[in-house]
Chains A and B, each alone.
Chain A
Amino acid sequence: MGSQQEVSSHRIRSRVAAVFAFRESILILVLVVGGIGMTIASPVFLTWPNLEAILLGLSVEGTIVVGMVILLVSGGLDLSVGSTLGFTGVVCGLALVAGVPAPLAIPLSLVAAFGVGMVNGVLIAKLKMNPFIITLGMMITIRGLLLVIAGGRAVLNLPPSFTVIGQGRLAGIQYPIIVVVALAVIGDLLLRNTRFFRQNYYVGGKEQAARLSGIKVDFIKIFNYCLIAVISGVSGLMITARFGSASVTVGSGIELRVITAAIIGGASLNGGEGSVLGALLGALFMGMLANALNLLGVDVYWQNLVTGVMLILAVVFDMINESRKEHRT
């Protein structure tokens, strides 16, 4: 009798363990508990303007993290996303100011972003260079390039035909929020369920084995760098449109925030692991944390400290979880 009870409690425990083996579940729990706590602590938290502010603040990290998690799954990494973001905004801004109509300036600037990704991808895939070094180099190069072409100054007075993409609303919701949600849903579906994107898990799991399995490893890598560059470009256009001007410093430092979000969300720098949902929850967690500290009147400097500790905890948690699983078998 006692043993039967033990068995069933063991089964429940292992069910619970199975659910919490997924990083997404833990993050959702943390977000819900945190949300409830914040609702009690601050009357402002659970109001639409505040939630909209969180989501809007998330729109840049939230879009880029979709590309980043795909890249991390395949064993890659891109530090140049912030520069590409700024570069795309400046290219578009300069084109607009020069009189190019928005429907032409937007694709033109995205082609520029695509070019950055292509250079990254080809150098890394074909010449087998280290992604960290190449994209670090590109991060500095592209930031330099945009400063040169913009003459070091922000591009001002952008036409309303363009700024609408960052400021307009659909059914009362701002476009950037719609974009981040749509991209996340589509991205999660693609990475989880389509053959093309699932190949990333094989490439990141073991690159040479993937080649032996007939997977076109180089093509996939190049595609991923192009994809994240275009996503960064879209993000850059939205933020430029939102502010009505193309800043030359926008996006600096965003690459580390995005990678942090993806890793808190369960991705690994060793490749082969991660999901779009997890990465987005990671970004949401960081956004909500900043918001909470702000509402609670905590000094803004605490935000970095807490985020850093969370990143380390997430990685340590992974290690412990992994070695415990090893132990069991």
Chain B
Amino acid sequence: MSDLLVVENLRKSFPGVLAVADVSFSLRKGEILALIGENGAGKSTLSQILGGAVRPDSGKIILEGREVSFATPQEAIHGGIRMMFQELSLVGSLSIAENIFANRQPVGALNGIRWKQLYRETAEFLQRFHVSLNPRSLVKRLVKGEQQILEFLKAISTSPRVLILDEPTSSLTETESAYLMDNIRTLRAEGMSFIYITHKLSEVFRISDRVIVMRDGRHVGSRPTSQCTERDLVAMMVGRDIADNSTRPAAKTDGECLRIENFSRRGAFSGISFTVHKGEILGLSGLVGSGRTELARAVFGMDPHDGGRVFLEGRPVRSDSPHEAIRAGIAYLTEDRKELGLYVNMPIRDNLIAPTLRRFTSAFGFMQNKPINDFAAAKIREFSIASPSSFKKVGKLSGGNQQKCLVATWVGTDPKAIFLDEPTRGVDVASRADIYMKIEELASAGIGIILISSDLPELIGLCDRILVMHHGRIVGEVERKDFSEELILSYATGLQSDRGEEQRRHG
């Protein structure tokens, strides 16, 4: 077998992050290459570069011996590399046939679509892949899994030489996954090559010929799948030395802060029970989609819940709305800074006071400018937000300063318990250090902290205890003395679980 695709020293940085650092690898004709790594390891950026969605800063992509460069996904598809999108690219109000042949419908005189031919060709195509769907059905009538399969069929309908799949089974049932894998194997036999990105180690062994591991944007190892074990892969994914996790003195955990009892939300998480103590930093780990954010949003009252109760310092809290939660003393720092966290078109000061407007209101309902300006100035100093004035629009600040504004806003509500959801995502190193310092300060002030993070070293460095979620359940609890990335990752990937049907409660 010859090398179909060769990637040499591919590099891409975003402000503050080196997403892909000098990655080189090759892909043979008729090979399935698994690409694995932790969240943020650079897998998605790498695949987006190959698929034409992102331009690399430097490096070469050589396809069939010729150097190529794609400005758009369309160019990549034309060149023979196609990416199958995780987010569905289908149009719900159109038929299956029109989706598969989007923009390539057979046309006759005056550019009119030849409907009969379109439906016939689609039917033949579907039959070839053993799909029993009517080409005329509207896509919105299909269930999520069928749509995902259709997305796959649409991708292979242009016969790409390389197909990039990013978590293709994330919304598939076991049967649908098996169908997908069977077809991938068939296509491999016909000479199509695949780059298969996944979180699920079991799939690596089920489908791939070779596996590449990425960490911090680097290609840290590759070997034939038949020559490695799951343990090897986890070790490669984690890799780094994690000796200095004793920077923080053990928390003075004096008394119960937030207690969650048997909390559930259908389709997101179920049977969640845990307790955070005053001054404790409790980590919440898990892969994307494990239900961590959904849990925090529901406790905060942003989303409804089906069952369970929340207690703050022993008193029940109605988690019906963020309004109630804030008044009770619960804060939630969202992971989605741009869409949910900040009002980017409003000045820093108006952002800082958003959850605490009442505090700056006189008896007659008027906003009091002086206290607001004093508060804003104090927060800007306290959180070292780099801005000449509190009247600057938040959207004009750098990512790190925006994040510090968000942290300042929610710490400014004087909460008793706070959920920090990915508090350092997309933040530069200096701001990150500022935020870590603030988190430790909050803990020593006796605030109960729930830290949600995909960054394992961050959790290990800061937390007193870590809970791990998988498929909407807490599957593991790790005490500080037992912290290791391998252990946490093995819970998060579902390899290990110590909380089955029976939920232990912690007091």
Q: Which residues of A contact B (CB under 8 A)?
A: 193-196, 198-199, 201-202, 205-206, 208-216, 272-273, 329
Contacts and interface: CB of A to CB of B under 8 A. Distances in A.
A209 B343 contact: yes
Contact of B323 (A196, A209, A216): A216
A208 B342 CA distance: 10
A267 to B, nearest CB: 14
Given A202-B343, A216-B321, A193 B367 contact: yes
B386 to A, nearest CB: 13
Interface stretch (B112-120, B225-233, B352-360): B352-360
Contacts of A209: 339-343, 354
Contacts of A210: 354
A272 B346 contact: yes
B14 interface: no
Contacts of B396: 329
Interface residues of B, number: 30
A87 B358 CA distance: 38
Interface stretch (B51-59, B101-109, B324-332): B324-332
Given A196-B365, A329-B396, A214 B346 contact: no
B346 A198 contact: no
A212 B421 CA distance: 13
B345 A214 contact: no
A273 B354 CA distance: 16
16 contacts: A194-B361, A194-B367, A195-B361, A195-B366, A198-B357, A202-B346, A202-B354, A209-B342, A209-B354, A212-B300, A212-B302, A212-B332, A212-B341, A214-B327, A215-B323, A329-B396
A201 B366 contact: no
A201 B350 contact: yes
Contacts of B365: 194-196
B418 to A, nearest CB: 13
A199 B340 CA distance: 16
Report which residue of A205, A206, A213, A272 has the largest number of chain B beta carbons within 10 angstroms of its beta carbon.
A213
A212 B364 CA distance: 25
A295 B341 CA distance: 53
A194 B360 CA distance: 10
Nearest to A190: B365
B334 interface: yes
A206 B361 CA distance: 22
Contacts of A195: 357-358, 360-361, 365-367
Given A194-B366, A208-B339, A212-B302, A272 B361 contact: no
Contact of B322 (A201, A206, A212): A212
A272 B321 contact: no
Contacts of B350: 201-202
A44 to B, nearest CB: 42
Given A196-B365, A202-B343, 20 more contacts: A193-B367, A194-B361, A194-B364, A194-B367, A195-B361, A195-B367, A198-B357, A202-B350, A202-B354, A205-B343, A205-B345, A206-B343, A209-B354, A210-B354, A211-B322, A212-B334, A214-B321, A214-B326, A215-B354, A273-B345
Nearest to A208: B340
B15 to A, nearest CB: 15
A206 B339 contact: yes
Given A209-B342, A212-B332, A213-B355, A193 B366 contact: yes
Interface in B229-261: none
Contacts of B339: 206, 208-209
B343 A199 contact: no
A178 to B, nearest CB: 24
A214 B325 contact: yes
A77 B342 CA distance: 24
B29 to A, nearest CB: 47
Contacts of A201: 346, 350
Contacts of B360: 195
Interface string B426-449: 000000000000000000000000
A205 B346 contact: yes
A22 to B, nearest CB: 13
Contacts of B366: 193-195
Given A193-B366, A194-B365, A214 B355 contact: yes
Nearest to B323: A214
Interface string B348-381: 0010001101101100111100000000000000
Contacts of A215: 323, 354, 357
B421 to A, nearest CB: 11
Interface string B472-495: 000000000000000000000000
A189 B382 CA distance: 33
A199 B360 CA distance: 13
Nearest to B342: A209
B59 to A, nearest CB: 31
A215 B342 CA distance: 14
Report which residue of A195, A198, A205, A212 has the largest number of chain B beta carbons within 10 angstroms of its beta carbon.
A212
Nearest to B357: A195
A187 B122 CA distance: 61
A212 B340 CA distance: 7
Nearest to A329: B396
Contacts of B332: 212
A210 B346 CA distance: 12
A283 B321 CA distance: 39
Shortest Cβ-Cβ A-B pairs, 3 listed: A213-B354, A214-B326, A195-B361
Nearest to A211: B322
Interface in B23-47: none
A322 B396 CA distance: 12
Contacts of A196: 365
A283 to B, nearest CB: 25
B342 A198 contact: no
A1 B321 CA distance: 61
A215 B343 CA distance: 13
Nearest to B346: A205
Contacts of A272: 343, 345-346
Contacts of B334: 212
Nearest to A196: B365
A214 B302 CA distance: 9
A196 B367 CA distance: 9
A11 to B, nearest CB: 15
A327 to B, nearest CB: 12
Interface string B199-231: 000000000000000000000000000000000
B128 to A, nearest CB: 42
A210 B325 CA distance: 14
